[in-house]
Structure 1
Amino acid sequence: MKFYVHTEEPPFTMVVKWNDSDDQSLQKLIEIFLGNFKLKYFMEARNIDESTLEVWKGKKSLNICGKILQSIKNMDDLYIKWKPKSSDQNDTSFQSSEIKNQLDKPTTTTQLIKSEAAENSSQKKHIPKEKNQSYSVQEFLEIATTLSSKQKVQHAIVIFKDILNKEPHNQSALVGIADCYFNAGRPADSLVYLKRVQNTKNDTAFKLGKCYVEMGKYDKAIETLMEYCKDLRTKGGTTATHKQDVQVWLAKAYIGKKQTDMALVVLQGVLRENQEHLDALIEYAPLIYPLGPKQKEEAMTILLTVLVNKRATEQAEALMKHAYLLDPANPHTLLTYIHTLELIEKHTEAVQEVLNYIKQWPEKEIGNFRIGSLLPILNHFHGDVYLNVPDVKLQCASVPVITSYGSYSEDMNYLLAILFTLVKILFIKGANAFIRPISSLIDPLTKGHELHKTNIRNEAAYFSCISQLQGLRSEVSHVVPGERYVYFVGDSHCIPPAWQSIQIKGEERILHPILSTGTKIWHLREESTFYPKYNFNSAVAGIPDGALTIFCFGEIDCREALLLSVEKAKYDSLEEAIDCVVEIYISLLIRLKELHHWDIYIHPVLPVLDLTRSVVMQFNQRMMNRVQSETSLKWLDFVDSLLTKESGELLLKKDFEFDGTHVHPCYLKLLEESLQQLP
């Protein structure tokens, strides 16, 4: 089995793979831990009073004489705690100590400050004149606070810890590092430092209460926040907004305890004072929705306010349809409604809504193009969108379009986005006979307009990719139902391979796209409630049991999330962040295989973008290593063949360049070869 052993300060994690037949005690685990810990933190290890070492699992201290196999389960997280040896600290000067285990190379606090000062030349007072210059505690605190405000949380934590190593009771450093950990989603770590804060006059009690809520200690949270509320009333001097924020967190604690009535009373008090308090609205709407018709209407109004920034579920369909029907000519509300239908896999309904809109307002224009010009094509759409075949052979007609038309209005952009989304749905669902005729009409509308810089850039990117593919493929009237499919599950990278044929052990198979738009692997963890997970589950529900499947996710994690999560101190290194995401992915795929008996192949993240190629290749390497330990999953090992090295730099080969975001579909020959080589 595999489990993790951590320390909180200094931060250290040891991955343990334990033989299921090795029935030793936890004392042996402590010995192994000490040996590894000393290799990294030799000086700190000398200060450990080994007689006080304890192993903690959650809130429970384990008996170190107990057996490992009886005390620990696969994938458990354990924490080693101890008391330091007593010693006198006579050195009161503050010099920067060596900071270990940074993201890229060993550095010092002084070097961190040099780096930050170089980024912000206006703060010249922070630039050291001498290599070994000493700094005051206040200067270090200012730099750490600046780093934290710029989301460079990991560096801020390093400096705060350096201060606390010399001044363990420095109140500003304790609060600063506690804030860093709380904002990084680590309330237990934050609590450790908040408990050391001696002055609770300001908002330390509020911070403690928030930590308790996030940790699920709701009774303690209510006690702490109620006491803090009394102090605010007694002492005064605080803002109305702060009082409201405290009340919302108190309501969250009551919700955690399932004391809905108390939560409602508290939230209603906040909303009487401030009807636009977003956090209060988010907590309030789900509580009142089940209470009756009048409350449902109120909840719908509230959810419309926050839906754009919060999760969407199937209930959002009715909500967005309601909004659309209130203003049926508005292309923006129709676009939002269509995307909601996509989310819940109601693609036929989405196409029908677009068709109805065009029929109702055929005179609406994008530039000089009337959307009613599409009706001669769309009138041949009948029935279910999946593998839809028109009742006649469609021709690619052209309507004169003046491409020099000036900038589009906002409504024109939304109309264009609706048409782009229509093409995407038709393509993904295999209604291929409609793609070229429609694309030939709307592709000219994109010329001379920098749509990638507008708020319809995502819709434009999908259309651009699909439109370019039409020029690479022979004309296909439709996909034949009953073909033997390989289900290619992914984000937008499932578009270039879609509906192409490959050979697997002498048999022709069609790559059937299963699109989960904008999905990160992080969205798919068990505890996630974010809407891409709902979209993913809806999309894969249509794959038959026993099917051959290819999963292609991780590119968005590499592009948007991994480095940022390290910078914000959610993880201590890029490797740790990657391993966490990989573990989420592997665990998900194993569950799906057990549930559906799919034959699962894992597609590497495609290294198309220059800026993220280094992260992508690290991700692929660690993913491949992890997959090799799982006999139930198979890795498609071809990604190195996409790259060439020039002047020591890895570049995408010219043959595989396509639209700047996706790889050219000719790469399928590499995928095919990789599949042929696997058992």
Structure 2
Amino acid sequence: MGMRAFPENVEFMVLAGECYIGCKDAEAALDTLMKCVKYARSKGGMGKEEKQNIQLLLAKAYLLKNEKDMAITVLQGILRENLDNDDALTEYAQLLFSLGPEQCEEAMTVILGVLARKQGDKRAKEVFAEMMRDAKGMEVLKKAAKSVFNDSAALVYLASCLRDHSVINSSLELFENALEISPNDPSIALIYIHTLEVIDNHIKILNFAQDFMKRYDSPGIGCMMHSCLNTIYDIIFSNILSGTGDKIELAKELDFETPTPEASYTYTDDDRYFLAFVFTVVKVLFVNGHLCGIPWLLKVMSSFYQGRDLHKSNIRNEAAYFNCIHEIMKTFSDHLPDLRAVPDDNVLYFVGDSHCIPAAWQTLNAQVFKTLLITFRMSL
């Protein structure tokens, strides 16, 4: 519409070119952008930034047509004028990586440079993820950025980029590298087990959680609950991971005083991440039907949760599902079947607050449904 009303408006031509590229219509994009260039020249040219923006769009359109030589020529023209054009460097890096093994390391160096300068750049993250999706991606990264593997924060950033683009195995490898450098960092431990949740590897989560709890010795609430949590986890995890199938009688084996933080104690960032880590482990146990040890974990954790306004903090999601499980176990703990007691049954645990239930869940169907705090319609 805008093009028809204003056929000689450069801004509309550029926007139309972007739209055609987004729709994967390379021919229409090239036709529109070339008209834009010709018209701008007839009117005395255009500014440097505007010109480079159109050149970048032309390069993307050529890439859609798989005309890599033309795309490289256009991008090189931009970079000759402005070597700091990160948008052009991003597209150039993607092209370079696809040309062969000799160019891969240079391409990785280029895209890492862009990410270092523009950490929130969505396109740069996408290109980096595509490189790492390649079978040789991790090997190239290790050659191109040796120093990164000595920096846990850099590894976490890159791993998060990959996780957000579903390059999960490489993401986990980078998180594991980060944990080797900072083994006691609860924020890294938390994001690592969240990533393991994506691939539904609860056994690996529980193995890691047990190891992390044993070595975690930072000051704060982690020390306050360290001993009793380890006692509980040793019993729960050993039983689950051994595969014996025996039902645990925790009440007969545990004898400790539940720790309680001082009301005046202010949680540090590490404290909150540690809590979120434990909350997530409780969730993993719950959703996999390992219920028998959860009441003890809730007993230990509740004094660290209650009255702390964690729903307003940066761990509000973890706090929300911990609270849901806490409430359901207080009310229905005698009615929920442990997974080991009924291995052949298909048991659905549906627990959530208003933030957990997507709008699509308007109706739930089940043979047996025990409800608590229902705020939506159910068909039973």
Structure 2 length-normalised TM = 0.68
Partner of 1:400: 259
Task: For 1:410-429, list aligned pairs within 5 A.
Answer: 410-429=269-288
- Are the counterparts in 2 of residues 432 and 478 from structure 1 also a CA contact under 8 Å? yes
Alpha-carbon separation, structure 1, partners of 2:239 and 2:59 = 49
Q: Identify if the C-alpha distance between structure 1 residues 371 and 284 changes in structure 2 by more than 3 Å, giving closer, same or farther.
A: same
> 1:296 pairs with 141, 146, 149, which one?
141
Task: Return 5+ residue gaps in structure 2 as ranges.
Answer: 87-113, 149-153
1:199-249 deviation line (CA, Å, top 9, x unaligned): 54442221111111122211322343456467779734354xx66655554
Q: Identify if the C-alpha distance between structure 1 residues 246 and 424 changes in structure 2 by more than 3 Å, giving closer, same or farther.
A: farther
- Are the counterparts in 1 of residues 248 and 293 from structure 2 also a CA contact under 8 Å? no
- Are the counterparts in 2 of residues 387 and 432 from structure 1 also a CA contact under 8 Å? no
Specify the code of the residue in structure 2 equivalent to 1:454.
S
Q: How much has 1:387 moved relative to structure 2?
A: 8.5
Task: For 1:237-256, list aligned pairs within 5 A.
Answer: 237=47, 239=49, 246=54, 249-256=57-64
Q: How much has 1:388 moved relative to structure 2?
A: 8.0
- Are the counterparts in 2 of residues 248 and 280 from structure 1 also a CA contact under 8 Å? no
1:264-311 deviation line (CA, Å, top 9, x unaligned): 774994884332451441343245443665643469979728728943
Partner of 2:232: 377
> 1:444 pairs with 303, 320, 323, which one?
303
Task: For 1:358-369, list aligned pairs within 5 A.
Answer: 358-366=213-221, 369=224
> 2:166 pairs with 312, 316, 322, which one?
312
Partner of 1:431: 290
Larger proportion of strand: 1
What's the C-alpha RMSD, in Å, of the aligned pairs? 4.3
Task: Return 5+ residue gaps in structure 1 as ranges.
Answer: 1-192, 497-517, 520-554, 559-602, 607-634, 640-654, 675-679
Q: Identify if the C-alpha distance between structure 1 residues 288 and 472 changes in structure 2 by more than 3 Å, giving closer, same or farther.
A: closer
Name the count of aligned residue pairs: 324
Alpha-carbon separation, structure 1, partners of 2:225 and 2:83 = 46
Alpha-carbon separation, structure 1, partners of 2:36 and 2:367 = 58
User: What is the identity percentage for the equivalent residue pairs of Structure 1 and Structure 2?
Assistant: 24
Partner of 1:522: none
- Are the counterparts in 2 of residues 348 and 385 from structure 1 also a CA contact under 8 Å? yes
Partner of 1:150: none
Specify the code of the residue in structure 1 equivalent to 2:179.
Y
Q: Identify if the C-alpha distance between structure 1 residues 244 and 219 changes in structure 2 by more than 3 Å, giving closer, same or farther.
A: same
Specify the code of the residue in structure 2 equivalent to 1:470.
M
- Are the counterparts in 1 of residues 290 and 340 from structure 2 also a CA contact under 8 Å? no
- Are the counterparts in 1 of residues 193 and 205 from structure 2 also a CA contact under 8 Å? yes
- Are the counterparts in 2 of residues 465 and 495 from structure 1 also a CA contact under 8 Å? yes
- Secondary structure at the aligned position of 2:297 is classed as helix
Q: Identify if the C-alpha distance between structure 1 residues 431 and 208 changes in structure 2 by more than 3 Å, giving closer, same or farther.
A: same
Q: Identify if the C-alpha distance between structure 1 residues 370 and 306 changes in structure 2 by more than 3 Å, giving closer, same or farther.
A: closer
Q: Identify if the C-alpha distance between structure 1 residues 204 and 421 changes in structure 2 by more than 3 Å, giving closer, same or farther.
A: same
Alpha-carbon separation, structure 1, partners of 2:176 and 2:283 = 21
Specify the code of the residue in structure 2 equivalent to 1:458.
N
Partner of 2:6: 198
Q: Identify if the C-alpha distance between structure 1 residues 461 and 245 changes in structure 2 by more than 3 Å, giving closer, same or farther.
A: farther
1:156-188 deviation line (CA, Å, top 9, x unaligned): xxxxxxxxxxxxxxxxxxxxxxxxxxxxxxxxx
Q: Identify if the C-alpha distance between structure 1 residues 332 and 252 changes in structure 2 by more than 3 Å, giving closer, same or farther.
A: farther
Alpha-carbon separation, structure 1, partners of 2:223 and 2:290 = 28
Q: Identify if the C-alpha distance between structure 1 residues 383 and 218 changes in structure 2 by more than 3 Å, giving closer, same or farther.
A: farther
- Are the counterparts in 1 of residues 239 and 246 from structure 2 also a CA contact under 8 Å? no
2:340 is aligned with 1:495: no
Partner of 1:190: none
Alpha-carbon separation, structure 2, partners of 1:484 and 1:204 = 62
- Are the counterparts in 1 of residues 273 and 315 from structure 2 also a CA contact under 8 Å? yes
Specify the code of the residue in structure 1 equivalent to 2:168.
E
- Are the counterparts in 2 of residues 430 and 479 from structure 1 also a CA contact under 8 Å? yes
Task: For 1:217-236, list aligned pairs within 5 A.
Answer: 217-225=25-33, 228=36, 235-236=45-46
- Are the counterparts in 2 of residues 452 and 461 from structure 1 also a CA contact under 8 Å? yes
Alpha-carbon separation, structure 2, partners of 1:386 and 1:605 = 39
Partner of 1:556: 358
Larger proportion of helix: 2
Alpha-carbon separation, structure 2, partners of 1:360 and 1:387 = 24
2:181 is aligned with 1:322: no
Q: Identify if the C-alpha distance between structure 1 residues 271 and 446 changes in structure 2 by more than 3 Å, giving closer, same or farther.
A: farther
Alpha-carbon separation, structure 2, partners of 1:243 and 1:637 = 65
Specify the code of the residue in structure 1 equivalent to 2:330.
G
Specify the code of the residue in structure 1 equivalent to 2:161.
L
Alpha-carbon separation, structure 2, partners of 1:481 and 1:224 = 67
User: Which has the higher mean CA deviation after the structures are superposed, 316-325 or 418-427?
Assistant: 316-325
2:323 is aligned with 1:464: yes
Q: Which has the larger radius of gyration?
A: 1
- Secondary structure at the aligned position of 1:479 is classed as coil
Q: Identify if the C-alpha distance between structure 1 residues 216 and 318 changes in structure 2 by more than 3 Å, giving closer, same or farther.
A: same
> 1:281 pairs with 124, 141, 144, which one?
124
Alpha-carbon separation, structure 1, partners of 2:227 and 2:138 = 39
Alpha-carbon separation, structure 1, partners of 2:46 and 2:330 = 70
Task: For 1:110-259, list aligned pairs within 5 A.
Answer: 193-225=1-33, 228=36, 235-237=45-47, 239=49, 246=54, 249-259=57-67
Q: Identify if the C-alpha distance between structure 1 residues 225 and 334 changes in structure 2 by more than 3 Å, giving closer, same or farther.
A: farther
- Are the counterparts in 2 of residues 363 and 371 from structure 1 also a CA contact under 8 Å? no
Alpha-carbon separation, structure 1, partners of 2:166 and 2:213 = 26
Alpha-carbon separation, structure 1, partners of 2:220 and 2:69 = 52
Alpha-carbon separation, structure 2, partners of 1:260 and 1:383 = 57
Alpha-carbon separation, structure 2, partners of 1:378 and 1:264 = 57
Specify the code of the residue in structure 2 equivalent to 1:494.
F
